[in-house]
């Protein structure tokens, strides 16, 4: 009985902290800024370009992202070019995101 209660409590906690689309947008914005900064070589200019570029990317990410919620976790498929093939895939659980697929740099 204690194991069942423990599983129910764990399931409820995972349900509460299952990241939503707003959480994903913030994650994708930061991820984009990091990638842009890394590709531009860092430094002040890289941070400025990364910040501006990530704002543009994050502004439209919700329109090109398909979220599938499995109650305690979610997957996010991002198809920026609209060809029905998602170039990015992420797994969200407990307020965190794991990269499952990203295009090569």
- Select from 17, 24, 16, 10 the least CA-distant residue to 75: 24
Q: Give the residue-averaged pLDDT of 73-91.
A: 91
Q: 0.85 exceeded by the pTM?
A: no
Query: What are 21-76's pLDDT values in tens digits?
Result: 999 999 998 888 777 777 777 666 666 666 666 666 666 788 899 999 999 999 99
| Residue 91: per-residue pLDDT | 98
Give residue 85's pLDDT: 87
Q: Which residues contact 82 (CB under 8 A, 6 or more apart)?
A: 64
Tell me what the mean pLDDT of segment 76-102 comes to.
Answer: 92
Could you identify the residue written with the tokens 């990638």? Answer: 35
Mean pLDDT of 76-89: 89
């Amino acid at each position: 009985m204690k194991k069942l209660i423990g599983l129910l409590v764990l399931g409820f906690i995972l349900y509460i902290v299952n990241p939503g689309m707003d959480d994903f947008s913030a994650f994708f914005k930061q991820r984009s800024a990091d990638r842009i900064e890394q590709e531009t070589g860092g430094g002040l200019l890289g941070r400025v370009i990364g910040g501006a570029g990530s704002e543009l990317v994050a502004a439209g990410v919700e329109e090109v992202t398909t979220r599938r919620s499995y109650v305690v976790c979610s997957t996010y498929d991002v198809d920026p070019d609209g060809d029905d093939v998602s170039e990015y895939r992420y797994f969200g659980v407990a307020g965190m995101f794991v990269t499952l697929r990203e295009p090569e740099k």
